[in-house]
Each structure stands twice: as C-alpha cells, then as structure tokens.
C-alpha cells in the first residue's frame, strides 16, 4: 500500500521502517527510532504511514511528532487512510487528527484491559495460560488443556 502510494504520488527512493510485532503504544521501537534518526539527520523529506495509529498510539506524543518534530525537521507527514497531510495545515481532516490519536490510544488501552480480564478469568478457571507446560510436567494426551 505504501509503495503504491509513493509511486502514484511520485515520491522517489522510498525506505521502509518496520516494527512488526512491537506494540505501537511505545516509541522505543527499532524501526521508529531508525526513522527518527534519519529524520533528525535531514535525510527524510516525507514520512508516510497507513494511518495515524501506525505512527503511534499515544495521543500526546503522536501529536508532538506530527506537529513539532517533523515540522521542525522539514518533514511532510502523510497518513493515507486518515487523509492526513501536513502540507496543508488548514485541511479539515487535519483538524480531527487529535481526536483520532486519542481514539487510537483509547483503543490500545481498552484492548489491553479486555485481554487482561480474559487471562484472569482463564487462570481462575484453571485453564492453562501458556501453550508450553512447565519443566517436569507432561500434557495429558486425552485433554490438551490438562
């Protein structure tokens, strides 16, 4: 999706910074830190993400990066699916970025709470919380939950 967008909008030499498997609630992600280093070194003109949540899921820090850090370093930021583009600060879609960032943060917190509640309920019912059995134990061949 990002490569196609870059080609269609004539952005040459795209470089990808990937953080697969790392939570977006933290900014201490290898790909993000590498991108930030390139931005601060002045080697980035445009940063493109699928949507605002891919930049991060902390509304305050995401706003700081999009409205200050990128701007200070002369970097245009585009979030494709959110129709967000810093080239035109008066776009109506840009006005809703703060609200979207807040929802992205809320979604991450809400999901975390729900997962925690499910894990707690499983533990209280005696259902194993891991797929690997502790050292010295064997799975029941008749019932893989025992």
Summarised one tens digit per residue, pLDDT across range 129-142 is 777 877 888 888 88
| CA 127 from centre of chain | 31
DSSP 65: I
Q: Give the pLDDT of residue 50.
A: 87
Summarised one tens digit per residue, pLDDT across range 74-104 is 999 998 988 888 887 666 555 566 667 655 6
Query: For residues 86 and 38, is the Cβ–Cβ distance under 8 A?
Result: no
Tokens 């703060």 label which residue? Answer: 98
Q: How long, in residues, is the chain?
A: 146
Q: How far is Cα 16 from Cα 115, in angstroms, rounded to an integer?
A: 30
In Å, how far are 81, 121, 125 from 3, measured between CA atoms? 14, 43, 47
59 confidence band (pLDDT: 50, 70, 90) = confident
Q: Mean pLDDT across the chain, nearest whole number? A: 81
Q: At 60, which helix (H) or strand (E)? A: helix 59-64
- Mean per-residue pLDDT for 39-68? 84
Query: pTM higher than 0.75, yes or no?
Result: no
Q: Give the pLDDT of residue 39.
A: 93
Q: Give the pLDDT of residue 99.
A: 64
Q: How far is Cα 134 from Cα 40, in angstroms, rounded to an integer?
A: 47
Token code pair at residue 115 = 């997962």
DSSP 141: S
Q: Give the pLDDT of residue 132.
A: 82
> Strand locations in the chain, DSSP E?
46-49, 76-79, 84-85
Q: Give the pLDDT of residue 102.
A: 54
Concatenated DSSP letters of 5-52: HHHHTT--S------TTS-TT-S--HHHHHHHHHHHTT--SEEEESSH
Check residues 127 and 38 and name the one with the higher pLDDT: 38
Q: Is the pLDDT of residue 66 over 70?
A: yes
């Amino acid at each position: 999706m990002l490569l196609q967008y870059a080609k269609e909008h004539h952005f040459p030499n795209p470089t990808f910074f990937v953080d697969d498997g790392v939570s977006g609630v933290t900014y201490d992600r290898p790909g993000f830190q590498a991108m930030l280093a390139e931005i601060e070194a002045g080697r980035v003109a445009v940063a493109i993400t699928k949507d605002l949540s891919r930049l991060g899921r902390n509304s305050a820090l995401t706003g700081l990066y999009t409205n200050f850090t990128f701007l200070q370093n002369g970097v245009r930021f585009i979030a494709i699916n959110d129709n967000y583009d810093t080239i035109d600060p008066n776009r109506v879609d840009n006005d809703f970025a703060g609200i979207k960032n807040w929802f992205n943060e809320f979604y991450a917190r809400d999901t975390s709470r729900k997962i925690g509640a499910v894990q707690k309920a499983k533990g209280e019912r005696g259902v194993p919380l891991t797929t690997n059995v502790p050292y010295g134990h064997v799975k029941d061949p008749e019932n893989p939950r025992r």
